[in-house]
Amino acid sequence: MPRNIPVLTVCKTTLAEAYEEALVQLYNNGVRFRTQYDKPDDPLSIDSTMDITILEPFTDPMIHKAFPGGIDDLKEYVMELLGVKDHWVKNMNDEKDTRWEYTYHGRLAAYGAWKELAGGKSQQAGFFSINQIDAVIGKLAKQPFTRQAQMITWMPNIDITCYDPPCLQSLWYRILEDEDGVWWLNCNVRFRSNDAWGANFMNMFGFNQFNKEIIAAGIAAKTGKKVEIGRMNWHADSFHIYGKDIESARRMLFERIGTMSFEERVFNFHDEFIQEMYQGAEAGIREKIREHDASH
């Protein structure tokens, strides 16, 4: 029996390349583990600690076809990270409220707050709502080389006993300036737990867009500088494929690597037909959210 959880490392130019290589490394070198979510007959999961570096996050090919979702799901997840579902979080003072425990955007934009605020102060004494997104943008705009531009999600008073606490733990940013005066936003992302097959691609794609649309855009607006997206480092303490998903991953990815070219396994995000699907999905997603709100 192994004594150590393997620590695996991937460094690739594009998002699609990095995602595929991380899954291959996990499949070939991961360790078998039980999880607290297994059903009695589920196979053991495959697990590791994983460190992924994507050198050019907005260079195509960005989208890998082997993830359990579609282009509209990517758009919906990005919109979620931008805050459109923050109101789905439950009131933790109400034991009968069964809505979500958190959203990532909610924890980042209103850290320390429960769902319902009173005068800017949460209903738990001593906790105030802190907009970490605005704080990070302000820090980087004023001092791009700061080492203090960090956001966190973990709230020990809630998450230690929470059934489904946040997987994302922190986002850390720093900026390099090139010879042309362009600012390059570098980002480190840490997940305590990352479902490599069921969620990782959407997570990485989503935070890539979050960094561009929220952080980089916010810094550019404050400074007048051109802000581009530099490398993203993605660290997962537990990077895993659940036992129930191993067969799907084998069919959809691992068995195809030897029979399909890499170009056949990916999409270019900036291709016109993908952009039409991605941008065109927003109206339907907003209607879906309105229907959900009306029925709940």
Q: In this structure, is residue 284 part of a structural domain? A: yes
Among 71-75, 154-158, 268-272, the minimum mean pLDDT is found in: 154-158
- Does residue 115 register a pLDDT over 80? no
Range of the domain at 124: 7-295
Q: In the 8-state DSSP scheme, what is residue 42?
A: P
For 74, 130, 181, the CA distances from 224, given in Å and listed in that order, are 30, 25, 11
User: How large is the C-alpha radius of gyration of the chain?
Assistant: 20
Render pLDDT for 19-55 as a digit per residue (tens, 0 to 9): 999 999 999 999 999 998 888 899 999 999 999 999 9
Q: In this structure, is residue 1 part of a structural domain? A: no
CA distance 269 to 213: 16
Q: What is the mean pLDDT of residues 129-147?
A: 96
Which tokens in the block code for residue 230? 């530099």
Q: What is the mean pLDDT of residues 70-90?
A: 95
| CATH number where 73 lies | 3.30.572.10
Counted domains in the chain:
1
- Does residue 1 register a pLDDT over 80? no
- Does residue 184 register a pLDDT over 90? yes
Q: Any residues with CB less than 8 A from the CB of 20 and at least 6 apart, and which?
A: 64, 66, 253, 257, 262, 265
In 10 A of CB 238, how many CB atoms?
A: 19
Q: In this structure, is residue 2 part of a structural domain? A: no
3-state secondary structure of 217: helix
Q: Are 231 and 223 in contact (CB under 8 A)?
A: no
3-state secondary structure of 292: helix
What pTM was estimated for this model as a whole?
A: 0.94
b/e string for 255-292 if b means 16 or more Cβ within 10 A?
A: eeeeeeeeeebbbbbeeeebeebbeebeeebeeebeee
Q: In the 8-state DSSP scheme, what is residue 228?
A: E
- Does residue 119 register a pLDDT over 50? no
CA distance 29 to 42: 20
Cα(first)–Cα(last) distance of the chain, in Å?
Answer: 48
Average pLDDT, rounded, for the chain: 93
